[in-house]
Amino acid sequence: MHNENARNDARNAAAPAPSGDDPHDPRRLVPPALAREIAARFGTPCFVYSQPALERRADAALAFPNAFGLTARFAMKALPNAAVLRLFDRRGLHFDASSGFEARRAILAGVAPAKISLSTQELPADIAALLDAGVTVNACSLSQLERLGEAARRRAGTGTPLEIGIRVNPGRGSGGTGKTNVGGPDASFGVWHEYLGDALALAAGAGLRVTRLHTHIGSGSDPLVWQQVAVASLELARRMPEVATLNLGGGYKVARVTGEKETDLQTVGAPVRDAFVRFAAETGRRLRLEIEPGTFLVANCGVLLATVQDVTDTGVGGRRFLKLDSGMTELLRPSLYGAQHPVAVVAQWERGAGSGERGDSADFIVVGHCCESGDLVTCAAGEPETLSARALPAATRRGDLLLIGGCGAYCSAMSAKNYNSFPEAPEVLAGTDGVARLIRRRQTLEQIIANEVAPE
């Protein structure tokens, strides 16, 4: 694909290079010496996650304000590597799975099924087995309720009625972009709130006990809308007498670059805790709170380490490009959402004072290695096709490392995997002890083609 208009619409002003005291500088998470060591040991591109950062975020989620108990779940779709799941499991988090495969993946990582809640657009064929194992499920449509009723009938005779949750679309949503807004009339997620009566009748007819209510309205949601929906969800819970747990989903904003505002969990959660207290005073029901953040827990705990494999330009007055050995094969968010990620150069080796590493800067457009103009790392905010230059060291050359921050959530988990037959990048966990350990190997070409079969 070649989009000349998009190319010509480049921004003139370069975003400032991260300075040493910029909290978003990816070198704060992976300092230059560690970046060089990891590149030498594991190659690039490579994801690097910080164990201390992951643990700090887990602790912050577990401290979410609550009145009558909290279960904080990790929305594992954001970063489903087993090492990360185990780390969070040990820290006290439970898990939100978005497909039967994710639930199975968590179980394979050693997570107890009872700690896994499944809210899925596609109810898996093996749902009965997952339920028998102890996974809990939120029905996300009327048809899912019917199918869960069938599963419950198969369990009849066990003496234990099936307890389920219902995910309701509360009629309002909010997301960082339209693509991640999953509430309101344009969203297919959950049972539409006006059908709640039908859903409850269906559940009762099928012998299902509805003990949980779930309302997740989007990723990167406006904290005010999130709070208002939380209070509206309590109103829905009034109509659901057996509900003992209210799951308000995730979606808390994080700041990957300067200018973005992070949602403070204490601030957003305190009024909701008060609403739970009022609800208890009025109804006598002390609801447990569940939250299930993905982004909040991992986004700023991961860096993508890449190598500059070419530096080109388009002549006098044109653009200067840094081409990486990575791109949408690891980081799709800029192409998909126009997402902003901080970038910093780490010279291949220390060039010393006056070398340009910390000296003059120049405007560069950072692009990926896939054969389409859309493989753009530095696009304008919310505009995937618009080039946006970053001020980076003028001396940046082939072989230097480029660190891309904010790459913990929805990067290794959600990318244009294997496009152009580039193999999946490895993942490394930088431990609290300072040691970098491989937690996923680089894929091989043989693994990419392993499932291809010659036609009969």
Ligand X SMILES: Cc1ncc(COP(=O)(O)O)c(C=O)c1O
Residues making contact with ligand X (CB under 6 A): 75, 78, 96, 119, 216, 219, 249-252, 292-296, 409
Q: How far apart are the first and last CA of the chain?
A: 34
Catalytic-labelled residue, pool 140, 371, 379, 407:
371
- Cα–Cα distance, 426 to 267 (Å, whole number): 37
- Cα–Cα distance, 123 to 379 (Å, whole number): 36
Q: Which of 75, 365 has the CB closer to ligand X? A: 75
Write phi, then psi, for 195 (nearest 5 degrees): -95, 10
Q: Which of 51, 119 has the CB closer to ligand X? A: 119
Pair of tokens at residue 52? 């201390």
Q: Which of 75, 328 has the CB closer to ligand X? A: 75
- CB of residue 296 to ligand X, shortest distance in Å: 6
Q: Which of 39, 254 has the CB closer to ligand X? A: 254
- CB of residue 220 to ligand X, shortest distance in Å: 6
* DSSP SS3 for 186: coil
Q: Which of 149, 249 has the CB closer to ligand X? A: 249
- CB of residue 147 to ligand X, shortest distance in Å: 19
- Cα–Cα distance, 151 to 149 (Å, whole number): 5
Q: What is the DSSP string of 326-366?
A: -STTT--HHHHH-----EEEE-SS---TTSSSSS-EEEEEE
Pair of tokens at residue 207? 């012998």
- CB of residue 40 to ligand X, shortest distance in Å: 33
- CB of residue 294 to ligand X, shortest distance in Å: 3
Are 426 and 441 a contacting pair, CB within 8 Å?
yes
Any idea what the Cα angle at residue 234 is, between residues 233 and 239, rounded to 5°? 95
- CB of residue 298 to ligand X, shortest distance in Å: 8
- Cα–Cα distance, 59 to 78 (Å, whole number): 18
Angle between helices 265-283 and 223-238 (to 10 degrees): 20
- CB of residue 176 to ligand X, shortest distance in Å: 8
* DSSP SS3 for 52: helix
Q: Which of 72, 429 has the CB closer to ligand X? A: 72
Task: Count the alpha carbons within 13 Å of 70 in the hemisphere toward its beta carbon.
Answer: 20
- CB of residue 327 to ligand X, shortest distance in Å: 22
Q: Which helix (H) or strand (E) holds 448?
A: helix 445-449
Q: Choose among 379, 293, 296: nearest CA to 343.
A: 379
- CB of residue 387 to ligand X, shortest distance in Å: 27
Has 371 been annotated as catalytic? yes
Burial (CB < 10 A; 0-12, 13-18, 19+), residue 159, is exposed
3-state helix, strand, coil in the chain (%, to 5): 30, 20, 45
Q: Which of 199, 297 has the CB closer to ligand X? A: 297
- Cα–Cα distance, 274 to 277 (Å, whole number): 5
Q: Choose among 252, 247, 121, 123: nearest CA to 187.
A: 121
Q: Which of 75, 116 has the CB closer to ligand X? A: 75
Are 152 and 209 a contacting pair, CB within 8 Å?
no
Q: Which of 120, 388 has the CB closer to ligand X? A: 120
Q: Choose among 109, 21, 54: nearest CA to 303.
A: 54
Q: Which residues are catalytic?
A: 371
